[in-house]
Amino acid sequence: MFADSTKLYVKAGNGGDGAISFRREKYVPAGGPDGGDGGKGGDIVFVTAENLNTLADLRFKHKFLAPNGENGKGGKMYGKSGEDLIIKVPKGTVIKDAESGKIIKDMSDDEPFILAKGGKGGWGNRHFATPTRQCPRFARPGIPGEEREVILELKLIADVGLIGFPNVGKSTLLSSVSGARPKIANYHFTTLTPSLGVVSLDAEQSFVMADIPGIIEGASDGLGLGHEFLRHIERCRLLLHIVDVSGCEGRNPIEDFETINKELTAFSPLLASCPQVVAGNKADLLTEPEQAQAFRRYLEEKGIAYYEISAATRTGMKELLYGIYGRIKDLPPVKVYESEYEDIPKEIPKAEDVTVQKYDHLYIVEGDWLLKLMRGINFDDYESLQYFQKVLKVSGIIDKLRQAGIQEGDTVSMYDFEFDFVL
């Protein structure tokens, strides 16, 4: 089953809680706190797999939960970290935020991508021991793992995309020049799923070609199969437009060419601007030479390269393939989509949404939006740290700390970040 889109809910593992423990041994007086830290929660990691070309494995499973980290123990024993949950997808899968539709990651390389990070383990009570607080009877809970709802869209990675009306010979052409074996029959909409094939001219010259199911008039509005699969030619470097010039079905090549390009423009003007090469197929069945000659002149006036071929008899194939390779070697590489997603709140919430807990001279501040904000802050970067300080003031957290009685020199703890309060 071919599947090129699906929706998933993923949640990374929660960090384990820190332990509250005190060392109690016969010959160790005043052993003090020895609570260990909790383990880190498992990450949700996406990796590409060469043997996958569809999202069918994810079509019926939509919820992925990574294991939590274990709680800390006494004797300064750390909790075990949760294992990462690996999700394999085909190369070319685009991960989008389900709510905003913005691109999070384009899985077009071999590098693993952490979509949701596991929460860090909470600190055991030994971290909170000070000269004035020698027996802290509290510890930090683990930080919750990130959770997201995402949409996966497969956009095939190919150098050349075959476009054209149904039954013009796209599948026949792909099967004759590569090892791909798409279904071939003499009726419309034989091809129901995209197919990829590697075209090898010699040991060092090759390119990837994709056969896209036939596009018809109205495809950009959802008619036929074109709308469902138009996304697969969005990142092709070159479009090979196959047109039936034989006249055996009573079609007009010029009208067919213009109709398909109108659908591309309606779907994506950027896609319509992609370089094109046109192949007039079924030349062995030519019944109206004048119509084919008029089509050639029409394309020449537009400056579009034209090759007359017969995919069934392989006539003109060598000239076409070398002509395609000559074009694509000078074109930019396959398009990789940049991330558009920012996981930092655009509007600064108010301090009412956070809690402040006081333990002697330690003030623990927590809140869902605060945790989300801190995950997007780079505390080693000056500008990022300045932004974080601004949020603390504007949101009213600083005022809330003052109302709780904080004094200069007291410690403020926000998850895994601590600082001394300065008036």
* SS3 state of residue 383: helix
Q: How confident is the model at residue 47 (pLDDT cuts 50, 70, 90)?
A: very high
Tell me which residue of 24, 50, 169 sits closest to 109, measured CA to CA.
50
- If one counts every other C-beta atom within 10 angstroms of the C-beta of residue 225, the result is 19
Outline which parts of the chain fall under CATH 3.30.300.350. Answer: 344-423
pLDDT surpasses 90 at 268: no
Find the DSSP H helices in 209-288.
226-229, 253-267, 269-272
User: What class does CATH assign to 160-328?
Assistant: alpha beta
What tokens does 210 get? 């994709």
Alpha-carbon distance 310 to 320, whole Å? Answer: 11
Classify residue 342 by burial, with Cβ atoms within 10 Å: 0-12, 13-18, 19+.
Answer: exposed
**DSSP letters of 149-173?**
EEEEEE----SEEEE-STTSSHHHH
Contact indicator for 377, 332 with CB cutoff of 8 Å: no
Give the sign of the dihedral formed by CA 419, CA 35, CA 356, CA 12.
Answer: positive
Per-residue pLDDT of 363-382, as tens digits, reads 888 888 888 788 778 788 88
Per-residue pLDDT of 391-423, as tens digits, reads 888 888 888 899 989 888 888 988 878 888 887
Percent of the chain with pLDDT over 90: 27
Q: How confident is the model at residue 333 (pLDDT cuts 50, 70, 90)?
A: confident
HEC string of 332-352? CCCCCCCCCCCCCCCCCCCHH
Contact indicator for 223, 217 with CB cutoff of 8 Å: yes
Phi first, then psi: what are they for 229, rounded to 5°?
-115, 0
For the ranges 133-137, 189-193, 268-272, the maximum mean pLDDT occurs at 133-137
* SS3 state of residue 197: strand
CATH architecture of residue range(s) 1-154? Distorted Sandwich (2.70)
Q: What's residue 304's pLDDT?
A: 92
**DSSP letters of 54-90?**
-SGGGSS--EEEPPPPPPPBTTTBPPPPPPPEEEEE-
Alpha-carbon distance 321 to 325, whole Å? Answer: 6
Among 157-161, 202-206, 312-316, name the one with the lowest average pLDDT: 202-206
How many helices (H) and strands (E) would you count in the chain?
Answer: 9, 18
Type of residue at 169: G
Q: What's residue 278's pLDDT?
A: 94
Per-residue pLDDT of 145-194, as tens digits, reads 999 999 998 887 778 888 888 878 888 888 888 765 655 445 444 444 67
The rounded Cα 288 to chain-centroid distance in angstroms is 48
* Spatial CB neighbours of 124, under 8 Å, sequence gap ≥ 6: 18, 19, 20, 21, 33, 34, 35, 36, 37, 38, 72, 76, 139
Q: What's residue 220's pLDDT?
A: 45
pLDDT surpasses 60 at 255: yes
Place of tokens 């090129």: 4
pLDDT surpasses 90 at 68: yes
* SS3 state of residue 365: strand
Q: What's residue 228's pLDDT?
A: 58
Outline which parts of the chain fall under CATH 2.70.210.12. Answer: 1-154
Helix (H) or strand (E) run with residue 175 in it:
helix 170-177
What is the rounded average pLDDT of the residues 338-346?
A: 70
The rounded Cα 43 to chain-centroid distance in angstroms is 16
* Spatial CB neighbours of 18, under 8 Å, sequence gap ≥ 6: 35, 36, 37, 38, 71, 72, 121, 122, 123, 124, 125, 127, 139, 140, 141, 142
Q: State the average pLDDT for the chain.
A: 83
Per-residue pLDDT of 73-101, as tens digits, reads 998 899 999 999 999 998 889 999 998 88
Q: What's residue 343's pLDDT?
A: 65
pLDDT surpasses 70 at 265: yes
Alpha-carbon distance 369 to 350, whole Å? Answer: 10
Alpha-carbon distance 297 to 192, whole Å? Answer: 33
C-alpha distances in Å from residue 140, one per residue of 48, 111, 118, 302, 411: 37, 34, 16, 70, 14
Q: How confident is the model at residue 264 (pLDDT cuts 50, 70, 90)?
A: confident
DSSP summary character for residue 255: H
Tell me which residue of 330, 337, 339, 373 sits closest to 353, measured CA to CA.
373
pLDDT surpasses 70 at 252: yes
What tokens does 414 get? 């926000």
Instruction: Say if domain 344-423 classifies as CATH 3.30.300.350.
Output: yes
What is the rounded average pLDDT of the residues 104-126?
A: 91
pLDDT surpasses 50 at 212: yes
Outline which parts of the chain fall under CATH 3.40.50.300. Answer: 160-328
* SS3 state of residue 22: strand
pLDDT surpasses 60 at 357: yes
